[in-house]
Amino acid sequence: MSKKVAVVLSGCGVFDGAEIYESVLTLLRLAESGAEVSVFAPNIPQMHVVNHLTGEVIEGETRNVLTEAARVVRGEISDVASAKADEFDALVVPGGFGAAKNLSDFAVKGGDLTVNEDFLAFAKAFHSAQKPIGLICIAPAMAAKICGEGAQCTIGNDADTAAAINATGAQHCDCLVTEFHFDETNKLVTTPAYMLAGSITEAATGINKLVDKVLSLV
């Protein structure tokens, strides 16, 4: 039987949603590995909308996280509020600022972050069932909320971001972009991806290793 993996996206676009390269690379590796994948996103408004050409916030425009994430997966996506962890073997969450703006408010509150209730309940159910979780790029900022105090994770080696993650109650560990960090106690796998990557190939190397490790833990 194929391994069943839930992937949670946070919109569409690096500055206000899910990082598209990270999302596609994750989905591609899972497909290549024969996993059965279902994709989810919260049915909520984005924190804001960013013009990806200029990097500027578009005032007065609103978009929905689920609707935007549907762009990445050709419409094959569901509301995370309807997701049930007991139907899956593992969870993977790509990064992009959406993980820090829509799935959580880490981008605004840092160590005092809160996490979207529906996503958090879904993710914590994996942890409670001792099922593996993969968090990519900035998504590891939510590690302590999902796995508890002392959860080990990485976003690479940025000192300020690492300090903010430590302030959440997690334990940051430096890591190369082409590698991953494995918290054996929590079955938590994290990789820096575009927190460090200078190219799509660098991001792919770390993401592929993360996906392979997550699947090996099922």
Residue burial 46-63, b: 16+ Cβ < 10 Å; e: rest: bbbbbeeeeeeeeeeeeb
User: Could you say which of 12, 137, 147, 175 is catalytic?
Assistant: 137
> How much is the pLDDT for 42?
98
Of the candidates 85, 89, 93, 80, which has an alpha carbon nearest to the alpha carbon of residue 4?
89
pLDDT tens track for 103-151: 999 999 999 999 999 999 999 999 999 999 999 999 999 999 999 999 9
Cβ atoms of 139 and 168 closer than 8 Å:
no
Average pLDDT over residues 86-110: 98
Residue 123: CB partners within 8 Å, gap ≥ 6?
8, 91, 93, 115, 133, 142, 146
Residue 169: CB partners within 8 Å, gap ≥ 6?
144, 148, 149, 150, 151
> How much is the pLDDT for 188?
99
> How much is the pLDDT for 203?
98
Residue 1 has pLDDT above 90, yes or no: no
pLDDT tens track for 160-192: 999 999 999 999 999 999 999 999 999 999 999
Distance separating alpha carbons of residues 125 and 10, to the nearest angstrom: 19
Catalytic, 153? Answer no
* Tokens encoding 93: 């969450």
pTM of the model: 0.98
